[in-house]
């Protein structure tokens, strides 16, 4: 306010609109015969929002990425609506609508309930404001909360926009958007596309072009750097590429991300990796020279993208998104950080720590070193921890443990993690097959499976079946196939009696069955000659006589009277 008063005294322009008028572009209304959008691809709930707003006397259009996808013949996953109604007016028109956000106030209109619910995001047309005329705060979003209270247009010292809630006409709203292909407005009732910045032309040329000066736009909101990568990754399969002026400032603008709240960067990282284009996003980051510097956890994911487990997890995430299945960030991040957990676990086992305690300590260390306070203390961190701590339990196929494990709420995520570990050779695939069968079987079949495992382990101890061998991680000449987990126990060979049973059939005919790393019982040997025809002699345990019935030998402890000793 003081700045505006001084500007008035000096005869300078006081607001963004009084200065040289920015280029808002020329409005072009494009009909269905030109854009050829298929109206059947428009979500009925987005159509309902547009109709409700228009019936109340407001302008309303489907906007942003949904229009871009419709132009390209794709079915949009999300629909956004833009209108000249204020957030309060929008909220008043719908039974389930909520105003969210401080920096940009928008309305979420909710349809349906539970997992089947759909959110239509409704934003009000915003004015094109000159940031030089905005109120400036010395700190950032976190440190300047009191100053920002009540402000509608504010920036920090670097020019990053902290508040932008000044409403305006549609042409100014279009000029505020980032890419030309995201700045088009579609009226599903008249089937007209309103285009101010040649978005249709750029879509036809497969060009990603920033509206206005790219370096300035990245400075206004550095998260646009990550959004640019995400759009390039999503559209790369269709042949889209950056216009040179748009792509050139990306690397030089990365330092601006240091002032963005960590929680916002974390959310943008998840959008990069969980919107169905994770592998393409990694490729774009490497190609653009942005493999490091955006966010530490993202840097690590890019660095380890060639690790077999991480690569498979990225592909699996893309597949699930493509099939419309839910994905959890905890699962993907658990895969990215498993290398750290596994190595820390092995170090502690080598130092003779108890296995489960060693795993817990390794997990704690990884959380402290890699996750921090952004997400590691909430549900996401708890889910990651549960996935990791579940892994050794999969190798304990005795007693009631398997029954309780399949009832765990996060069993499926833990099993999928086990499945990926088996797929990359870290564990035998037979173990993953066994659990897949067990998880879908009835109780009678499950008991049969556990009895079969018990019999096999008994034969192994008696020397008539598989024998357990300590192996080193590095392996050696003549080592049997199969993977080794921390703990180093692996079984070699299979009992002839079980070769026809698919639950014990070795992978590729000679793969090992993984044993329980928590099984501390001794393993049987095959007898001195090592011949299969020479089974190991069963060792008898001599019971001491009770003290009441006579002498139990020198140094024997006393036992309650009345019992009978001997076999």
Q: Point out the residues that are catalytic.
A: 78, 80, 178
The closest alpha carbon to 124, from 110, 106, 109, belongs to: 106
- Let me know: does 136 contact 161? Beta carbons within 8 Å: no
- What's the rounded Cα separation, in Å, for the pair 441 and 297? 39
- What's the rounded Cα separation, in Å, for the pair 38 and 71? 8
For the chain, helix, strand, coil in percent to 5 are: 45, 10, 45
Supply the Cα-derived Rg of the chain in whole angstroms: 32
List residues bridging with 490 in a β-sheet. 469
- What's the rounded Cα separation, in Å, for the pair 476 and 415? 30
Coil/strand/helix, residue 119: strand
Cα 472–Cα 477–Cα 478 angle in degrees, nearest 5 = 95
**Helix and strand counts by DSSP (H, E) for the chain:** 23, 15
- Let me know: does 310 contact 335? Beta carbons within 8 Å: yes
Q: Classify each residue of 293-318 as buried b or exposed e, where b means 16 or more C-beta atoms within 10 Å of its C-beta.
A: bbbbbbbbbbebbebebbbbbbebbb
Handedness of CA 390, 490, 466, 540 (dihedral sign): negative
H or E segment and range at residue 70: helix 65-71
- Let me know: does 511 contact 525? Beta carbons within 8 Å: no
Coil/strand/helix, residue 291: coil
Cα 435–Cα 440–Cα 446 angle in degrees, nearest 5 = 70
The closest alpha carbon to 199, from 152, 231, 161, belongs to: 231
First vs last C-alpha separation in the chain = 99
- What's the rounded Cα separation, in Å, for the pair 531 and 536? 10
- Let me know: does 487 contact 517? Beta carbons within 8 Å: yes
- Alpha-carbon dihedral 195, 201, 205, 206, rounded to 10 degrees: 10
- Let me know: does 346 contact 486? Beta carbons within 8 Å: yes
DSSP 127-152: ----GGGSEE-SS-TTTTHHHHTT-S
Residue with tokens 């409700």: 52
Q: Classify each residue of 251-274 as buried b or exposed e, where b means 16 or more C-beta atoms within 10 Å of its C-beta.
A: eebbebbeebeeebbbebbbebbb
CB atoms within 10 A of CB 21: 9
- Three-state DSSP string of 242-282: ECHHHHCCHHHHHHHHHHCCHHHHHHHHHHHHCCCCHHHHH
- What's the rounded Cα separation, in Å, for the pair 314 and 346? 25
């Amino acid at each position: 306010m003081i700045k505006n008063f001084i500007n008035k005294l000096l005869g300078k322009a006081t607001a963004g609109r009084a200065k040289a008028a920015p280029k808002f572009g020329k409005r072009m209304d494009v009909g269905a015969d030109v854009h050829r959008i298929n109206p059947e691809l428009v979500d009925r709930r987005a159509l309902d929002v547009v109709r409700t707003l228009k019936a109340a006397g407001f302008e309303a259009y489907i906007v942003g990425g949904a229009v871009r996808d419709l132009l390209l013949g794709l079915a949009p996953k999300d629909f956004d609506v833009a209108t000249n109604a204020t957030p309060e007016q929008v909220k008043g028109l719908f039974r389930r609508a909520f105003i969210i956000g401080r920096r940009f106030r928008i309305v979420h209109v909710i349809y349906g309930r539970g997992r089947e619910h759909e959110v239509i995001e409704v934003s009000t047309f915003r004015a094109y404001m000159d940031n030089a005329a905005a109120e400036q705060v010395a700190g950032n979003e976190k440190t300047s909360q009191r100053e920002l209270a009540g402000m509608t247009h504010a920036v920090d010292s670097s020019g990053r926009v902290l508040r932008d809630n000044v409403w305006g006409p549609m042409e100014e709203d279009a000029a505020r958007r980032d890419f030309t292909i995201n700045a088009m407005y579609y009226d599903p009732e008249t089937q007209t596309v309103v285009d101010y910045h040649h978005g249709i032309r750029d879509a036809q040329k497969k060009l990603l072009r920033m509206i206005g000066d790219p370096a300035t736009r990245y400075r206004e909101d550095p998260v646009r750097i990550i959004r640019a990568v995400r759009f390039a990754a999503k559209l790369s399969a269709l042949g889209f590429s950056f216009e040179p002026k748009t792509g050139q400032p990306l690397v030089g603008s990365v330092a601006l991300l240091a002032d963005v709240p960590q929680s916002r960067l974390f959310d943008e990282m998840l959008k990069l990796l969980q919107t169905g284009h994770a592998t393409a996003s990694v490729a774009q980051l490497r190609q653009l020279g942005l493999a490091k510097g955006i966010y530490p956890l993202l840097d690590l994911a890019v660095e380890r993208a060639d690790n077999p487990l991480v690569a498979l997890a990225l592909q699996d995430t893309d597949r699930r998104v493509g099939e419309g299945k839910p994905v959890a960030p905890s699962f993907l991040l658990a895969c990215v950080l498993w290398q750290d957990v596994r190595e820390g676990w092995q170090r502690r086992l080598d130092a003779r720590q108890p296995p489960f305690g060693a795993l817990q300590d390794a997990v704690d260390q990884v959380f402290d070193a890699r996750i921090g306070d952004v997400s590691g203390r909430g549900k996401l961190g708890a889910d990651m921890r549960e996935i990791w701590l579940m892994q050794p339990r999969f190798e304990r196929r005795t007693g009631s443990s398997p029954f309780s494990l399949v009832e765990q709420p996060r069993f499926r995520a833990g099993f999928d993690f086990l499945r990926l570990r088996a797929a990359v050779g870290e564990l035998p695939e037979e173990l993953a097959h066994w659990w897949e069968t067990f998880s879908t079987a009835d109780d009678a079949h499950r008991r049969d499976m556990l009895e079969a495992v018990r019999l096999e382990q008994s034969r192994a101890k008696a020397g008539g079946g598989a024998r357990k061998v300590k192996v080193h991680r590095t392996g050696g000449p003549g080592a049997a196939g199969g993977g080794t987990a921390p703990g180093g126990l692996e079984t070699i060979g299979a009992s002839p009696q079980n070769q026809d049973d698919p639950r014990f059939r070795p992978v590729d005919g000679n793969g090992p069955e993984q044993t329980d790393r928590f099984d501390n019982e001794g393993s049987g040997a095959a007898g001195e000659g090592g011949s299969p025809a020479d089974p190991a002699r069963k060792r008898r345990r001599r019971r001491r006589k009770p003290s009441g019935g006579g002498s139990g030998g020198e140094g024997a402890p006393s036992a309650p009277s009345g019992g009978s000793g001997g076999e």
